[in-house]
Amino acid sequence: MNDQVSAPSPVARLIRELNRLPGIGIKSAQRLAYYIIRLPSEEVEGIAESILGVKDKIIYCSVCQNLTEVDPCELCNDPHRNNGIICVVEEPLDVLAIERAGFYKGYYHVLHGVVSPMNGIGPGDLRIKELLPRLNNDAVKEVILGVNPTLEGDATSMYIQRLISPLGIKVTNLARGLPIGGQLEYADAVTLNRAYQGRIEL
Amino acid sequence: MSGNRLYRVEGLVLKTSFLGDRDVLVTLIASDGSKLTAMAWGARKLTSRKMGHIEQLNQIDVTLYRGRNMPSISQVQSMDNFQILKGNLERLSQSLYITELVDGFAMEANSNPELYTLFLDCLHALQDSNANHMIVPFFQFNLLSVCGHMPELYRCVECGHVLDSYSNRFCIELGGLLCDNCKPELWRVRFVNDDTIDILRLFNSSPNFPRSSTTSEDIYRELRSILDKSIRYWLDKDVQSSDFMDHVGRYSREQVV
Ligand SMILES: [Zn+2]
Ligand SMILES: [Zn+2]
């Protein structure tokens, strides 16, 4: 903190703002700030514009809640996808990961987080209620809960499953278990147990 | 300085937080009831054996390495990961609530073995097939007790006289029932039903978690209200996870009816 105080105030402000970003500690913020100061003006303007552009141009898709420039987003607008399946994920990055893998052809729903009761984040803080109207037609046959296998992810899955179950739609979980390239001997009992529960016939 | 920097602790994981992509900060209550925070370096790496063991609500056997600022986890083995409880939304929401309370009342370097035992017993009770909605209020009452704030149910909190059977006025701030003569002006006094007082006295005399419940909805609500407010008073902050627990619980009770 002392370094901040001794820096000239516009620099101190930049350090303070960068420090607020996730994963950026005070040391990293200082390093980034002094890097930016040494950049040519055009490059700095480019960075600033891109940050402002994100706020101006990016909106939530009114269907899947993913971040997008057009509403509905490109994925929701794609008629070649399977409208019988919706995969529910935590974050926009999860959509990218699944798309990159290339096997999934259904639609998505992005929650923007998981319930975290001890941090005061409840179902109302997530985009769960936006999922229900999407299920009120006969097209959707399966909802895949693709949230991360953490305690809070599981709580979120159980909560959504309970909301959906009266609708008579099949709800599935992504299988949990052994990572590809991982070793059985490194797996803990819970992981092994889940891998066992989710075993499939060959 | 002691040469041995490794030491072994049994505890329950209260919370975890990720630091960057690799490391995890683990807060636990040790079996002596003190709270401690330890670093699990590299726990999020795929080859790490630690991650599954240090999940919230796990009972763990952990070997710690004494560091300059904070201990780090050298080895960890889960003794019980409460799978049944974690697979049931209502019980999980209750567990997270009691975990937040334990996190709030436990203190670093302050031993309180009864607090640890109460927490562990409560998780076992929630894991049990007889789990019912009296477990949380029973836990709340006993939490206040083991932390030195047990509600006074037999003598007037103001003057100390033994209470009559019709003393039904309770004061959260003074921490118990009042006789008919005492009217503290500074504090709000609330009327409490006989049935609610009976349950509180039963809690006081019972060593075990209730295995069944026949309380009416009204009495249950009054009981929870007194205990919630007492806890709020001593903790001096809101309990974040109570909304989720009550939201999930209300839904469950409606489904049953
Ligand atoms: Zn969309
Ligand atoms: Zn009195």
Q: Are residues B153 and B44 in the same domain?
A: no
Determine the structural domain holding residue A155 and report its residue range.
Answer: 80-201
Looking from the CA of A112 toward its CB, the CA atoms found within 13 Å total 16
Q: Residues B107, B77: one domain?
A: no
> Three-state DSSP class for B256?
helix
**Do B212 and B195 touch, CB atoms closer than 8 A?**
no
Rounded to the nearest 10 degrees, how much is the dihedral formed by the CA atoms of B180, B182, B188, B193?
-20
Which CATH number fits the domain that encloses residue A9? 1.10.8.420
Angle among Cα B252, B141, A115 to the nearest 5 degrees reads 40
Ligand nearest to the CA of A64: 1
pLDDT at A3 over 60: no
Residue B53 to residue A120, Cβ atoms within 8 A: no
Instruction: State both tokens at B202.
Output: 């039963």
A29 occurs within a structural domain: yes
- Note which residues in 84-103 of chain A have CB less than 8 A from chain B: none
Q: Are residues A116 and A194 in the same domain?
A: yes
B98 shares a domain with B33: no
| A187 falls within a domain | yes
Give the neighbor-by-neighbor strand order of the sheet with B190-191: B176-178, B169-171, B190-191
* Domain termination residue (choose one: B57, B81, B105): B81
* A61, A49 contact by CB (below 8 A): no
Does some domain include residue A72? no
Between residues B143 and B20, the one the model is more confident about:
B143
From chain A, pick out residues whose CB is under 8 angstroms from the CB of B81.
189-190
Is A69 domain-assigned?
Answer: no
Q: How many contacts (CB atoms, under 8 Å) link A and B?
A: 74
Cα(B145)–Cα(B41) distance, rounded to whole angstroms? 37
Query: Is residue B75 located within the same domain as residue B88?
Result: no
- pLDDT of A5 > 70? The answer is no
Cα gap B150→B216, rounded to integer Å: 24
- In chain A, the N- to C-terminal Cα span, in Å, equals 59
Per the structure, the count of domains in chain B is 2
Least confident of A54-68, A104-118, B36-50: B36-50
Residues B228 and B115 in one domain: yes
Instruction: Pick the last residue of a domain from B81, B101, B118.
Output: B81
Report yes or no on A68 lying in a domain. no
Question: Are residues A90 and A53 part of one domain?
Answer: no
Does residue A191 lie within any of the structural domains? yes
Same domain, B24 and B132: no
Strand partners for A107: A86
The alpha-carbon gap from A30 to the nearest alpha carbon of chain B, in Å, equals: 18
Backbone angles phi, psi at A155, to 5 degrees: -60, -40
A37 shares a domain with A106: no
How many distinct structural domains can be found in chain A? 2
Residue B153 Cα to ligand 2 midpoint, Å, equals 12
Give Cα separations from A164 to A65, A157, A198, B244 (angstroms): 18, 10, 22, 18
How many CB atoms neighbour CB A25 within 10 A?
A: 13
Would residue A196 count as lying in a domain?
yes
In-domain check, residue A38: yes
Contacts of residue A179, Cβ cutoff 8 Å, sequence gap at least 6: B46
Domain hosting B23: range is 2-81
Same domain, B63 and B166: no
Q: What is the pLDDT of residues B25-50, one digit of tens each?
A: 999 999 999 999 999 999 888 777 78
Cβ neighbour number for residue A156 with a 10 Å cutoff = 26
Question: In terms of domains, do A15 and A115 share one?
Answer: no
Same domain, B154 and B244: yes
The domain boundary, picked from B81, B110, B134, lies at B81
Q: pTM of the entire structure?
A: 0.87
A13: distance to nearest CA of chain B, Å? 24
Assign residue B85 a region (left: φ > 0; alpha: ψ between -120 and 50; beta: otherwise).
alpha
Point out the residue among B49, B52, B240 whose CB comes nearest to the CB of A118: B240
User: In this predicted model, what pLDDT tens digit does every residue of B130-184 receive, in sequence order?
Assistant: 888 899 999 999 999 999 999 999 999 999 999 987 889 999 999 999 998 998 8
pLDDT tens track for B4-18: 789 999 999 999 998
Statement to judge: residues A124 and A196 lie in one domain: yes
Based on the fold, state whether residues A53 and A103 are members of the same structural domain.
Answer: no
Strand order in the sheet with A142-145: A106-110, A82-89, A142-145, A170-173
Ligand 2 centroid distance, CA of B160 (Å) = 6
Contact present, A151 and B15 (Cβ < 8 Å): no
